[in-house]
Amino acid sequence: MKKKVISIVMAGIIAASLAACGGSTQSAGSSGAASEPAAASEAAEAKEDSAVSEAGEATEGEGKVLNIQCWNDEFARRMRDHMPGYEAYDKDDALKGGKLGDVEVTFTMTPSTENAYQNNLDSILPENTSAAEDDRVDMFLVEADYALKYVNTPVCLPISDLGITEDELANQYQYTKDIVTDEEGNLKGLSWQGCPGVLIYNRDMAKEVLGSDDPDEVQKAVADWDTFNKTAALLKEKGYRITSSANDSYRTFSNNVSSPWVVDGKINIDDNIKAWVEMSKQQVDAGETGTADLWSPDWSKGFAKDADVFCYFGPAWLINFSMGNVDDGEKEDDGSRTFAGGWGATVGPQGFYWGGTWICAAAGTDNPTAVAEIMRQMTTNEEVLTEIVKVDNDFVNNKPAMEAAATDDSFAFKPLGGQNPLAMFCEGADKIDLSNVSEYDQGCNESFQLAMKEYFEGNATYEEALEAFYKSVKEKYPELEY
């Protein structure tokens, strides 16, 4: 594809687009004059005409149907709103697909519930190369917890096979590449986002118990796990809980292990995981936290203004799309509700990450050029990525874009009362270490938390909970020993 032409067109388009929106509907302090209607219209027409002709030329001789497998509509929405030259069929339902040049784009969504999405991939990807061309999977999405399950097999292509070079990926955060690099060193996926996490705290409780809601002052009270536990005791004296659930802190521990879940075919419990068990049991017994499952009503009710929960651990998406939409506070023009700026963000005891979506090219795709161009535009085009930050409050996988946003007040978060936490996220993203990630992470993490819940609630001894964990993992991965 003629990248120079697209880049020239895109520069004008995105500049006009950013000027027109003047900031996200979910960002505090956003302002900006709208661009001239005629200029915006001309830019939009130029974008459509150029991108469509380029896509048509680029895909000549290749397939006319590009099939994408996903578990929700997030990537479909990102393409609908930001992919140059892409025309969505339905502005409200992104999963209905669209056209990219002369290529029809289709999305097949299978929910993650009860492992249905992975089961679907497992059934279709091994036979993909022999499927009819228009039925072949061209792209599929994966999450960090199970990415290596597919990356370490032939079902997805190395990025280099698509003609995408290392130089094109120079501005991406290293951890987002490490997580989709196979055992032979081949990069086999790309992401438009990064998901480093921070500690998100209740400002009113911080003022009452700690004397200040300033992020630097609050950080002193949660700087490491010893001080975190001391603060938990102080909060309990005032009738508050440090976290909603013991599961809130789990990823902060599991992301900082010194060994993987499986070593030489044997299930391995790292000392940092054991430290989480010890801390959590003490906190649950003391009434300083609960045992609710993540995403349950009991867990998320701590988002509300009159709740008794001091903090959560999470990335940008948790702040803006979960905590920023509780039924409290002032109603915004877009219908969402916020806790009236009642939260603040600070670094917390340890860095961690949570979530993220990676794009993989399926072996057997008959649309390698279109797949490569989607990857380029959605994960390396700084103008497109800046627009995603502005419009969607995503933390994107582009260092220059995020470093610029971190110093721009228009990127402040409304749930955080106008605080811009992006500098913390940038620092955290650079420190993420995935040297101990494995293809068994999702299964082991889920089984371990479920087993330990029985121990925390007094329904089993630690040894009994541990045995239940081992049995659960063996059911998922019969090849493992313990």
Provide the residue-wise pLDDT of the chain in tens; the chain has 482 residues: 333 333 333 333 333 333 333 333 333 333 233 333 333 344 444 444 444 444 444 456 799 999 999 999 999 999 999 999 999 999 999 999 999 999 999 999 999 998 999 999 999 999 999 999 999 999 999 999 899 999 999 999 999 999 999 999 999 999 999 999 999 999 999 999 999 999 999 999 999 999 999 999 999 999 999 999 999 999 999 999 999 999 999 999 999 999 999 999 999 999 999 999 999 999 999 999 999 999 999 999 999 888 999 999 999 999 988 887 665 555 555 554 556 678 999 999 999 999 899 999 999 999 999 999 999 999 999 999 999 998 888 899 999 999 999 999 999 888 898 899 999 999 999 889 888 999 899 999 999 999 999 999 999 999 999 999 999 999 999 999 99
- pLDDT tens sequence across 238-273: 999 999 999 999 999 999 999 999 999 999 999 999
Question: What is the reported pLDDT for 229?
Answer: 98
- pLDDT tens sequence across 347-393: 999 999 998 999 999 999 999 999 999 999 999 999 999 999 988 88
In this structure, which amino acid lies at residue 233?
Answer: A
Of all helices (H) and strands (E), which one includes residue 278?
helix 271-285
Tell me the C-alpha distance between 335 and 222, whole Å: 34
Q: Give the strand order in the sheet containing 343-346.
A: 241-243, 309-314, 198-202, 343-346
Backbone φ, ψ for residue 16 (5° rounding): -65, -40
Tell me the C-alpha distance between 243 and 289, whole Å: 5
Length, in residues, of the chain: 482
CA-based torsion, 204, 209, 212, 217: positive or negative: negative
Helices (H), 152-247: 174-178, 203-205, 215-221, 225-237
- Could you tell me if 324 and 90 are in contact, meaning their C-beta atoms sit under 8 angstroms apart? no
pTM of the model: 0.82
Token pair in block for residue 51? 């991108």
How many other CB atoms sit within 10 Å of the CB of residue 176? 25
Of all helices (H) and strands (E), which one includes residue 152?
none
Question: What is the reported pLDDT for 60?
Answer: 63
CA-based torsion, 323, 325, 328, 334: positive or negative: positive
Question: What is the reported pLDDT for 414?
Answer: 84
Of all helices (H) and strands (E), which one includes residue 165?
none
Return the DSSP state at 287: T
* Range list of β-strands (E), 110-153: 137-143
In this structure, which amino acid lies at residue 178?
Answer: D
Tell me the C-alpha distance between 302 and 390, whole Å: 27
